[in-house]
Amino acid sequence: MKTDTSSIRPLMILGTSSGAGKSLMAAAICRLLTNQGEQCIPFKGQNMSNNAWIDINGGEMAYSQAVQAWAAKLDPICYMNPILLKPLGDCTSEVIHLGKSVGTTKAKDYYKDWFQPGWQSIKTGLNELKALYPNGRLVIEGAGSPVEINLKERDLTNLRIAQYLNAKCILVADIERGGVFAQLIGTLALLSPDERKLIKGIIINRFRGDSSLFDSGRDWIEKETSIPVLGIMPWLNEVFPPEDSLDLLERNLKKNSAEIELAIIKLPSLSNFSDLDPLEAEPTISLRWIKPGDFLGNPDAVILPGSKQTLKDLRTLHSSSLSTQIKSYAKNGGNVFGICGGLQILGKTLNDPKGKEGSSSKDFKGKLEGLNLLPIETVFLSEKSRVNREIMTCWPQPCLVSGFEIHHGISTIKAPTSDSIKPIAKDPSLGWVMNKKNLGIIGGTYLHGIFDNGNWRRHWINELRKRKGLSLLPTSKEHYKDERDKVISRLSDSFKTHIDLSLIT
Q: Which residues are catalytic?
A: 340, 448
Are 374 and 420 a contacting pair, CB within 8 Å? no
Are 40 and 72 a contacting pair, CB within 8 Å? yes
DSSP letter at 71 equals H
Are 442 and 373 a contacting pair, CB within 8 Å? yes
- If you count them, how many residues does the chain have? 505
How would you write 253-315 as a 3-class SS string? Answer: CCCCCCCEEEEEECCCCEECHHHHHHHHCCCCEEEEEECCCCCCCCCCEEEECEECCHHHHHH
Distance (Å, whole) CA 129 – CA 142? 18
> Residue 144: which residues within 8 A CB-CB, separation 6 or more?
15, 17, 18, 158
DSSP letter at 393 equals B
Distance (Å, whole) CA 389 – CA 446? 11
Distance (Å, whole) CA 125 – CA 103? 19
Q: What angle do CA 457, 463, 467 make, to 5 degrees?
A: 150
Are 343 and 446 a contacting pair, CB within 8 Å? yes
> Residue 197: which residues within 8 A CB-CB, separation 6 or more?
none
Identify the bridge partners of residue 407 per DSSP, sorted by sequence position: 385
Question: What type of residue is 473?
Answer: L
Question: What type of residue is 408?
Answer: H
User: How many alpha carbons lie under 13 Å from residue 20 in its C-beta half-sphere?
Assistant: 30
